[in-house]
Amino acid sequence: MPQNKQKSAKEKLIEFLENNRGLVVLFFCLPASFLFDLFLTAKRNIHRLLFSSPKLHETRAAKIQSQIRKWNESPKENRKLLCTSRPNWLSLSTTFFKKDQCHQIQVDLFDILSLDEENLTIRLEPMVTVGEITNYLIPKGYTLAVTLEIADATVGGLAMGTGMTTHSHKVGLYQENVVSYEVILGDGSLVIASKEENEDLYNCLPWSHGSLGFLVALTLKIVKIKPYIKMSYTPVKGQKDYCEMIRFLSGDDGTDYPVADYIEATIFNRNEAVIMTGQYSDYQPTLPINNVTNWYKPWFYKYVETFLTRGKHTELIPIREYLLRHNRAIFWVVESMIPFGNNPLFRLLFGWLLPPKPAFLKFTTTPGIRNFTFTKQVFQDIVLPIRKLEDQINVSEKLFDAYPLLVYPCKIYDHGEMSGQIKRPNPDYIVDGTNYAMYNDLGVYGVPGFVKRKEKYNPVDSMRNMEKFTRDVGGFSFLYADIFMTREEFEEMFDLKLYEIVRRKYFADGAFPHLYDKVKPEIDVFELGRQCE
């Protein structure tokens, strides 16, 4: 009996904590996360002071090579597959790859190596973050052609993962803007992969998630910018109308009109969206300036939502603030943790504590919490043909009923047969007179409506249905998020023909985990699905 009573008290406590997650986050997580961030930043700065020097790049790369050569000397049957020793919790990926089952190689590469203003390129070590590179480039009048709205993302993580942004309808995916990769292979050799050298490897490194080699440097294209983004917010009612407007603005109909530098839409419900277009701009005295990242400001998507009732609006946003506009609320992920986080009083008192450091959230994710978030939240970015935008929204609503949705267009180039993991776009989607199709990112983040209303919801069924829809229309799931596919389904979504050849040719077989094994969740999703029945 006492056992029972105690258990129910514990259950009550758990129930209370689950129902008042915001308070727990406020009084425990945010302060702890803040200290955690201070500690990580200090550690990184000390590391930088002591060890950083672009001149020592070759020495650092040689050290990694020697670790791999040593691994090669040990007997084959004792060798575990290779991965970096960067802890899982530092990465933004939602999966927890089992690094303890690998032989871990230290890849501590944090430096900006060189800027080439003549050719508009920059050479970087892979662990430079988006926050650091924007701080470095923007005062010089540049930014990376493709970055991410999250300051903690790394340039190497984006290169080995996806990398897609609101400028991608002009310049395509991150991988289109990589001039070259410098990679250490499973045999310890260092090779350059570019369009001129080792082109097959160059084509397979994007979407490879560290399954082909260790990236030690990369050269990226940069673009010239102006100090501000002139941002226009246009509310549109009616699904057909807002979808058509997004497609028109992206240039999907092939007519030759100037498209905006940045395009994004936030869809607040089936019938209402706010479409944002941004143009590089100098200061204009007639337009208001909005410093959207200041800590006391409303969360960006909440601010955007106000235009549904206020009508069209135009303003200037300093460019770095534009690029990091979604950082404070991690798009709208923070809302499910702190439901009252956008309250003006909260912002005034505690706004400076946001965002909770993604690394801290992952660091404190126990297997129980992981189970909880896995089954009660959705976290997906999916690349889908923009001509199917209405279907995407309808399918997402049916399966998750989670709004808002993030949408922004992106060019997907047709590079021909055997050109990497991304399948060639269906000829039906090719923009007339070009070699690309217009796709879009569909970002679905947060707590599904079914879970909010405590209705029946099977996350595995919903996710698998979404993936089936994605395969049927020729789209791709971002692999930083959890996938629910079998290996056969995965090989239907991605084209692994060249990848398998490259794995054999460049000593990745037997040295690095296979892509599917690297990105599949550490949780048995099929078992979990049965338990949710």
Ligand X SMILES: *[C@@H]1O[C@H](CO)[C@@H](O)[C@H](O)[C@H]1NC(C)=O
Measured in degrees and rounded to the nearest 5, phi and psi for residue 209 equal: 50, 45
* Amino acid identity at 511: A
Could you tell which of ligand FAD, ligand X, none binds residue 315, using a CB distance below 5 to 8 A set by kind?
none
196 part of the interface to ligand X, by CB under 6 A: no
Please give the residues from 366 up to 395 whose contact with ligand X meets the rule CB under 6 A. Answer: 367-368, 371, 390-391, 394
The footprint of ligand X on this chain (CB under 6 A) covers a number of residues equal to 16
- Please, what is the minimum distance in Å from the beta carbon of residue 507 to ligand X? 29
| Token pair listed for 363 | 């660091």
Cβ proximity of 461 and 482 under 8 Å: no
Stretch that binds ligand X, among 28-36, 327-335, 364-372, 420-428 (CB under 6 A): 364-372
Report the interface residues with ligand FAD, using CB under 6 A: 84, 91-93, 107, 126, 148, 153-154, 156-158, 160-164, 209-210, 214-215, 330-331, 333, 381, 441, 443, 445, 480, 518
Helix ranges (H only) for 328-474 are 333-337, 344-350, 358-363, 367-376, 389-399, 449-452, 459-472
Name the residue whose CB lies closest to ligand FAD.
157
Element (H, E) at 275: strand 272-281
Shortest distance (Å) from residue 250 CB to ligand FAD: 15
Instruction: Compute the distance between CA of residue 312 and CA of residue 310 in angstroms, rounded to an integer.
Output: 7
Interacting partner of 17 out of ligand FAD, ligand X, none (Cβ under 5 to 8 A depending on kind): none
10 Å Cβ neighbour count for 380?
A: 22
Q: By the 8 A CB rule, do 174 and 219 touch?
A: no
Q: Residue 338 binds what, of ligand X, ligand FAD, none (CB under 5 to 8 Å, by partner type)? A: none
Nearer to ligand X, 169 or 320 (CB): 320
Query: CB under 5 to 8 A by kind: which of ligand FAD, ligand X, none does 445 bind?
Result: ligand FAD
Q: Report whether 112 contacts 140 (CB < 8 A).
A: no
Comparing CB distances to ligand FAD, the nearer of 162 and 462 is 162
Binding to ligand X, residues 259-298 (CB under 6 A): 289, 291, 294
DSSP annotation string for 130-169: HHHHHHHHGGGTEEESS--S-TT-BHHHHHHS----TTHH
**For the chain, what's the residue count?**
533
Q: Which is nearer to ligand X, 163 or 529 (CB)?
A: 529
Site for ligand X contains 87 (CB under 6 A): no
**Backbone φ and ψ of 105, nearest 5°:** -110, 135
Contact of 267 with 359, CB cutoff 8 Å: no
Binds ligand X by CB under 6 A, chosen from 41, 101, 119, 435: 119
- Residue ranges binding ligand X (CB under 6 A): 116, 118-119, 289, 291, 294, 318, 367-368, 371, 390-391, 394, 527-528, 531
